[in-house]
């Protein structure tokens, strides 16, 4: 390891006792990656061998009570792309990349929409359409088996870990949302400006240049694997104020990010508000998507297909895109800008709305499901007949406190929007006016949250 003379500041996590020791210790990081790889392989294996929930509580718990809420949502909201650092696909992919033919990625595959589009089509859209099918162990296992085989094949074929930077749907989501959190990989410019050895770049399998991250206000496709920090101690993992990367100007071209925010806001946040939150209220029968779904069900009943889910998803996607399009078009017109320039300049505020809002769900579901699911999975794995009940139920008043994250998400998104508007040199009343108009989707989200809080729970 290259050792430069430096003292780590208090905000550099690499100088902290436990975290710093973990990230600087390649053996420990290898052990963490092996553990996650073992989880992936066993979850897929048991999902295929024991295909139903009745006989297999393990596969579903690992994918939907551990990977999705904690490895993805919680880690993205705090430490950015930290999941990529222990990702089993890139862990094995690194070795495959070294022995493969190292071809350049074909131009047609350099398109983030391919992986992200498949994630929407293969997972987020079907989950509302066939809810009882998608979370069964064998379907979850098959989904992750195909994803794993595709990832490893592409790592083998194409150089510079191109699967991560151009195709991986999970990487597209983690890199877009990584700016919401409060850590950033940087380097000590006092040393980097005179450095000629570039040990950090040589160590980076993704061929990135971490000494430019701070200047560009973007970590690009960085997976936080920390290989660079193990190659040179000028690399720092700095704590920043939450979401500063979202409102500071960036010279990196990341046009996909804002589309990721809108799509996930539509298919996760707004659809869940329609289908799961309002759909479990006392006014359920009066909701337009419930009525339309029931009508379609009476016309064309398809086994396993949930027409109410289809209609909730369709109406949520339509409303989200209509509100974003309408509020952005008016704002852009008032500023004499093109829609796409305005969209790319301010759309970052939608990131915390989706991500911080999702914490309300995962916080309460930890007590309602995830903790007991994971403990039951463990007992099943060791052959014990012990079963654990959920730690709470909806009747426990305190569980609803997690709903406060929805309000935090609204305030956070409005704050980021206000900050981003200053990048367009807007001040005074004009800035307030555009802030109110362009924040249409935040007001809509707030309306849904407040409306739901005012009506009683259904049966």
Q: Can you give the binding site for ligand SF4, defined by CB under 6 A?
A: 84, 87, 89-90, 151, 163-164, 168, 170-171, 174, 185, 203-204, 206, 208, 210, 222-228
Considering the complex, what minimum distance in angstroms separates the CB of residue 356 from ligand SF4?
21
Considering the complex, what minimum distance in angstroms separates the CB of residue 358 from ligand SF4?
18
Considering the complex, what minimum distance in angstroms separates the CB of residue 340 from ligand SF4?
26
> What does the block give as tokens for 377?
């999975």
DSSP 399: G
- Planar angle of CA 155, 159, 164, nearest 5 degrees: 50
Q: Are 151 and 168 in contact (CB under 8 A)?
A: yes
Considering the complex, what minimum distance in angstroms separates the CB of residue 19 from ligand SF4?
14
Considering the complex, what minimum distance in angstroms separates the CB of residue 235 from ligand SF4?
7
Residue 47 or 171 with smaller CB distance to ligand SF4: 171
Contacts of residue 201, Cβ cutoff 8 Å, sequence gap at least 6: 207, 208, 209, 210, 228
Residue 57 or 85 with smaller CB distance to ligand SF4: 85
Q: Is 109 helix (H, G, I), strand (E, B) or coil?
A: helix
Helix H or strand E segment including 184: strand 183-187
Residue whose C-alpha is closest to residue 347's, from 438, 431, 240: 438
Residue 119 or 127 with smaller CB distance to ligand SF4: 119
Q: What is the three-state SS of 302-363?
A: CCCCCHHHHHHHHHHHHHHHHHHHHHHHHHHHHCCCCHHHHHHHHHHHHHHHHHHHHHHHHH
Residue 210 or 440 with smaller CB distance to ligand SF4: 210
- Which position's Cβ is nearest ligand SF4? 171
Residue 178 or 271 with smaller CB distance to ligand SF4: 178
Helix H or strand E segment including 186: strand 183-187
CA distance 211 to 235: 8
Residue 164 or 426 with smaller CB distance to ligand SF4: 164
**DSSP string for 61-83:** IIIIIIIIIIIIIIHHHHHSTHH
CA torsion angle 367 373 379 383 (round to 10): 160
Residue 177 or 402 with smaller CB distance to ligand SF4: 177
Residue 214 or 396 with smaller CB distance to ligand SF4: 214
For 335, list phi and psi in degrees, rounded to 5. -100, 5
Q: Are 260 and 36 in contact (CB under 8 A)?
A: no
Considering the complex, what minimum distance in angstroms separates the CB of residue 91 from ligand SF4?
8
Q: Which residue has the tokens 């500023």?
A: 335
Considering the complex, what minimum distance in angstroms separates the CB of residue 169 from ligand SF4?
8
Considering the complex, what minimum distance in angstroms separates the CB of residue 28 from ligand SF4?
16
For 53, list phi and psi in degrees, rounded to 5. -65, -30
Residue 152 or 263 with smaller CB distance to ligand SF4: 152
Q: How far is CA 5 from CA 14, 225, 229, 233, in A?
A: 15, 23, 14, 9
Considering the complex, what minimum distance in angstroms separates the CB of residue 172 from ligand SF4?
8
**DSSP string for 363-393:** HHHIIIIIHHHHHHHHHHHTT-------S--
Q: Are 193 and 187 in contact (CB under 8 A)?
A: no
CA distance 232 to 211: 11
Residue 115 or 440 with smaller CB distance to ligand SF4: 115
Considering the complex, what minimum distance in angstroms separates the CB of residue 219 from ligand SF4?
7
Considering the complex, what minimum distance in angstroms separates the CB of residue 197 from ligand SF4?
15
Residue 203 or 416 with smaller CB distance to ligand SF4: 203
Q: Are 91 and 33 in contact (CB under 8 A)?
A: yes
């Amino acid at each position: 390891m290259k050792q430069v003379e430096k003292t780590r500041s208090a905000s550099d996590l690499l100088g902290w006792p436990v975290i710093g020791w973990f990230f600087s210790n390649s053996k420990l990081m290898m052990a963490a990656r092996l553990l996650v790889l073992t989880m992936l392989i066993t979850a897929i294996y048991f999902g295929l061998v024991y295909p139903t929930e009745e006989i297999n509580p393990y596969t579903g718990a690992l994918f939907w009570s551990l990977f999705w809420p904690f490895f993805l949502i919680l880690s993205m909201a705090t430490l950015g792309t930290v999941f990529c650092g222990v990702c089993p696909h890139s862990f094995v992919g690194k070795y495959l990349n070294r022995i493969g033919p190292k071809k350049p990625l074909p131009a047609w595959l350099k398109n983030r929409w391919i992986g992200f589009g498949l994630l929407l089509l293969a997972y987020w859209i079907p989950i509302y359409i066939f809810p009882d099918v998608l979370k069964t162990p064998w379907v979850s296992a098959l989904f992750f088996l195909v994803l794993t085989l595709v990832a490893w094949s592409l790592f083998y074929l194409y150089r510079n870990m191109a699967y991560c930077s151009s195709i991986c749907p999970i990487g597209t989501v983690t890199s877009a949302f990584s700016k919401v959190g409060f850590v950033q990989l940087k380097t000590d410019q006092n040393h980097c400006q005179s450095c000629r050895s570039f040990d950090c770049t040589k160590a980076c399998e993704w061929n990135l240049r971490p000494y430019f991250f701070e200047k560009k206000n973007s970590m690009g496709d960085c997976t936080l694997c920390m290989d660079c920090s193990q190659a040179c101690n000028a690399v720092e993992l700095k704590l920043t104020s939450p979401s500063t990367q979202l409102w500071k100007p960036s010279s990196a071209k990341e046009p996909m990010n804002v589309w990721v925010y809108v799509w996930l806001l539509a298919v996760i946040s707004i659809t869940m508000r329609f289908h799961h939150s309002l759909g479990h209220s006392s006014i359920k029968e009066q909701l337009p998507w419930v009525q339309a779904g029931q009508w379609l069900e009476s016309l064309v009943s398809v086994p396993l297909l949930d027409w109410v889910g289809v209609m909730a998803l369709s109406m949520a996607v339509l409303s989200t895109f209509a509100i974003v399009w309408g509020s952005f078009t008016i704002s852009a017109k008032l500023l004499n800008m093109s829609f796409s320039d305005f969209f790319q300049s301010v759309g970052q505020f939608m990131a915390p709305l989706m991500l911080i809002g999702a914490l309300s769900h995962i916080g309460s579901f930890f007590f309602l499901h995830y903790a007991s699911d994971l403990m039951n999975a463990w007992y099943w794995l060791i052959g014990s007949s012990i079963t654990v009940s959920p730690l709470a139920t909806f009747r426990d008043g305190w569980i609803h406190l997690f709903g406060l994250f929805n309000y935090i998400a609204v305030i956070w998104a409005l704050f980021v929007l206000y900050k981003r508007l200053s990048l367009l040199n807007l001040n005074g009343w004009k800035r307030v006016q555009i802030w109110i108009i362009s924040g249409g989707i935040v007001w809509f989200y707030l309306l849904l949250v407040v409306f739901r809080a005012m009506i009683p729970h259904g049966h």
